[in-house]
């Protein structure tokens, strides 16, 4: 399966511009990949102090995602700023070419305005597509191994993190993406944004595709604005899991709340 990572600057709060830029990228990938992964809140940036930018699952951001998936013949994963009643959510999505789309909300909201203005999620976004099992998590979720855990050894094959991870803590991103791949014996995709947000926080990328042993199959240069495509090998994943089934020795636990 071909998977494309999009590391791109997001103009904070400028939905029209962001949809135009990501739309041009999406159209350039038509017929060339199986899955496109976008950064966190791709249409607005991490403008969590502006919940008025949130939109429904029938809004322009998701309509655009559905169009790209349909016309491009690929799936699209990422997150957007969602509204549901009087509440705002950082909502992950996975949309397939046939128009099927699944959602789940970010569980671990970041300290500050995201916790102030947004509502956390309480379930995983797990999707099977072309025989591959995916889990989509969002940014700060990366720091919490229990929420990411491949509990049965077969919960997912590919773990996706869509992010706006800051430059000042990028060493944690680099270390934790590798750790999540190794401990869960899964491919890990981490797609981060670049640029400077409305809080003057810098984001320098480091998007990556890792194999189930933590080896880098695909990576970006710092501050690179670009699109890169790699491949995952399900036969290799099965070989790794069967040869050393670490998950069978994992401690049992229950997630509450």
Closest Cα to residue 229, out of 216, 218, 213? Answer: 218
From 15, 55, 114, 139, the catalytic residue: 139
b or e along 99-117 (b: 16 or more beta carbons within 10 Å of the residue's beta carbon)? eebbbbbbbbbbeebbeeb
Reported pTM: 0.97
Within 8 A by CB and 6+ apart from 49, the residues are 113, 117, 198, 199
185-206 mean pLDDT = 93
What is the model's pLDDT at position 257?
72
Residue 95 among the catalytic residues: no
What is the model's pLDDT at position 125?
98
Calpha distance 20→239 (Å, rounded): 42
* Residue 56 in this model has a pLDDT that exceeds 90: yes
- Domain CATH number, residue 113: 3.60.110.10
Total domain count, the chain: 1
* Residue 248 in this model has a pLDDT that exceeds 90: no
Residue 254, domain member (yes or no): no
47-69 mean pLDDT = 94
Sign of CA dihedral 73, 76, 81, 87: positive
| Mean pLDDT rounded to a whole number for the chain | 96
* Choice among 103-112, 190-199, 200-209 with the minimum mean pLDDT: 190-199
What is the model's pLDDT at position 50?
87
From 15, 40, 114, 167, the catalytic residue: 40
Helices (H), 11-141: 15-28, 60-72, 113-117
Residue 40 among the catalytic residues: yes
Q: What would the pLDDT profile of 104-140 be if each residue is shown by its tens digit?
A: 999 999 999 999 999 999 999 999 999 999 999 999 9
Calpha distance 2→229 (Å, rounded): 7
What is the model's pLDDT at position 197?
83
pLDDT band at 20 (very low <50, low <70, confident <90, very high): very high
220-244 mean pLDDT = 96
From 15, 66, 106, 167, the catalytic residue: 106
Domain interval for residue 209:
2-249
């Amino acid at each position: 399966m071909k998977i494309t990572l999009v590391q791109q600057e997001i103009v904070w709060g400028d939905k029209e511009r962001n949809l135009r830029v990501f739309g041009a990228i999406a159209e350039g990938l038509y017929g060339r990949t199986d899955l496109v992964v976008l950064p966190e809140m791709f249409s607005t940036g991490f403008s969590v102090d502006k919940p008025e930018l949130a939109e429904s699952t029938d809004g322009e951001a998701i309509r655009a995602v559905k169009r790209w998936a349909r016309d491009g013949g690929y799936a699209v994963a990422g997150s957007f700023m969602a509204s549901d009643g009087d509440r705002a959510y950082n909502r992950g999505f996975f949309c397939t070419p046939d128009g099927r789309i699944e959602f789940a909300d970010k569980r671990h909201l970041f300290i500050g305005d995201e916790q102030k203005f947004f509502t956390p999620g309480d379930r995983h976004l797990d999707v099977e597509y072309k025989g591959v099992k995916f889990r989509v998590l969002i940014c700060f979720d990366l720091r919490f191994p229990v929420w990411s855990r491949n509990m049965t050894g077969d919960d997912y094959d590919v773990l996706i993190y869509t992010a706006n991870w800051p430059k000042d803590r990028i060493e944690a991103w680099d270390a934790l993406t590798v750790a999540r791949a190794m401990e869960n014996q899964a491919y890990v995709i981490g797609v981060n944004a670049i640029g400077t947000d409305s809080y003057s926080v810098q984001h320098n990328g480091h998007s990556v595709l890792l194999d189930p042993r933590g080896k880098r199959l695909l990576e970006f240069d710092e501050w690179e604005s670009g699109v890169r495509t790699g491949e995952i090998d399900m036969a290799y994943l099965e070989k790794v899991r069967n040869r050393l089934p670490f998950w069978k020795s994992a401690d049992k636990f229950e997630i509450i709340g």
